[in-house]
Each structure stands twice: as structure tokens, then as C-alpha cells.
Amino acid sequence: MNTLTVVKIGGNVIDDSAALHRFLTAFSSLSGAKILVHGGGKIATQIADKLGLQTTMVEGRRITDKPMLDVVTMVYGGLVNKQIVAQLQTLDINAIGLTGADGGTVLAIKRPVKDIDYGLVGDIDEVNSGQIQFFLHQDLTPVFAPITYTEAGELLNTNADTMASAIAVDMVKHNEVTLVYCFEKKGVLADPTDDNSVIGELTPTVYAEHKAAGTVNKGMIPKLDNAFKALGNGVAKVIICHADELALAAQQGAGTTLRLEK
């Protein structure tokens, strides 16, 4: 079976042009087929401020009304996405910039209102892995901005971590998939204040032990829960690592690797 690496890069790296270039250089060196899913960084907030739009965040999630959706669509699906695609072209990666609407690749539904009304935010309903696989067969590297669409043709802002996981899970139909989350930490830390306290490997049993002991940062728990869910749905392994250590992590020389029990 073909191998595929799905990589998600966080906003902190996108905000730093030098860090982004280092990351894209490492991404371009990964062997085999690959897909990149990126966040938006602070650029959308900066542009919203210039337009006189207020940004409201709840537990790190953006409340997206119609004017804010217009901004994030322009920034994520336009400016940030195309800057990344252009840089990858200079690194000999024939990249194609996409949102979930392009090629009907990622269909979503508007998030139901419960305790919080997030506005025009999408929960992923379906991934068109056949279309994505077609792009890969054309030697194209898909670069996804975190914008999805509904059956009614409405665009929605979508969490990039969730989008990467959903794409990875559906691509299992065609490939052996590794999912990599890159951000500003070296991996899952036993002590959030100590960057050298990286937990090298997590299985569900070891993860449960760390949660029970309170040694895993609470902010990391939702990401890890989703990562283990991806493993349970066929993803071969999940790696969480520093963006500067992507190449090493891909060779299992850095970061935290998540696996199911052997």
C-alpha cells in the first residue's frame, strides 16, 4: 500500500516567516506523498482590526460571524494559503492550494448551538478522499486552508486540527497514513514548563496513566483524544512535534509518537 503523510502546521509558525520557511523546507524533504493542512495565525485578527471588526475568542476558538467569515476566507484561503503554495513551488513541490469547497473535498455542517454559539463554524461531515487521491496521482501536493462548505454552498470556518485528522482518517481508504501535528513545543510534555520533558511514546494505556497522574497539560488533552480517535479509525501512527523537528520526527527521532497497543 502507498504511504501518505498528513501534516498540520499551527498558526504560531505561520506568523514567523523564518520559522515557516524552515518548516516548509523540512516538509518538502519528506519522502512519499504528503498533504499539508495549515492554520491561520494572527493575520486574520490583524486584518479584522484594520477593518474595525471585533475578534471574539472563547477557549481559543474564534466566534465567526459573517464579516469575520469573509476575513478568514480571504486570509486563510487566499493570502496564507497562496503564500505557502508559492514557497513550496520554489522548493520543487508542485503544490495545489485548496479549501474544503475546492473539488468538493471537505463537506461540513454548521456547528449546532449548545452552550456557545460559534457562528459560521463547520463540523466536518464528509471527506472526498477519492478526489484528494486524484490530486496525489497527478503528483500534486494538496495544501488545505481550514475552510469547509455545506451542501447549500455556504462556507464555514473549521478547526485545522480537526480538518487534518478527518482527512487523514478518510485517506486510510487509499494509503497507509501517518498524521503529524507540528507546533511550538517539542512534543507532549510531562512538565509543560520543561521543553526537555518530552514523552517519547504514548499508547492508550500510558496516556491514561499520565492523565490520571495529571502530568499531561490539560490543553493537550483534546488534541490527544482526537489523535487516538484517528488511530482507532485506521491511521497508522500520529506524531506530535516541534515544527523545526519535522524531518527528525518523521524518522521517529523526535517528538511524541502515538500508537495503539501492540
Question: Is 62 annotated as contributing to ligand binding?
Answer: yes
CA distances from 72 to 102, 212, 247 (A): 16, 38, 30
Annotated binding residue at 100? no
Cα–Cα separations (whole angstroms), residue 261 to 202, 207, 228, 245: 9, 11, 11, 25
176, burial (CB in 10 Å: exposed 0-12, middle 13-18, buried 19+): middle
* Three-class SS state of 243: helix
Round to whole Å and give the CA distance between 49 and 12.
19
Q: Per the annotation, does 41 bind a ligand?
A: yes
Three-state DSSP at 74 gives: helix
Distance of CA 262 to the CA centre of its chain: 27
Q: Is 22 annotated as a binding residue?
A: no
Gap between the Cα atoms of 139 and 252, Å rounded: 26
Q: Which residues are annotated as a binding site for substrate?
A: 40-41, 62, 157
Q: Which residues are annotated as a binding site?
A: 40-41, 62, 157
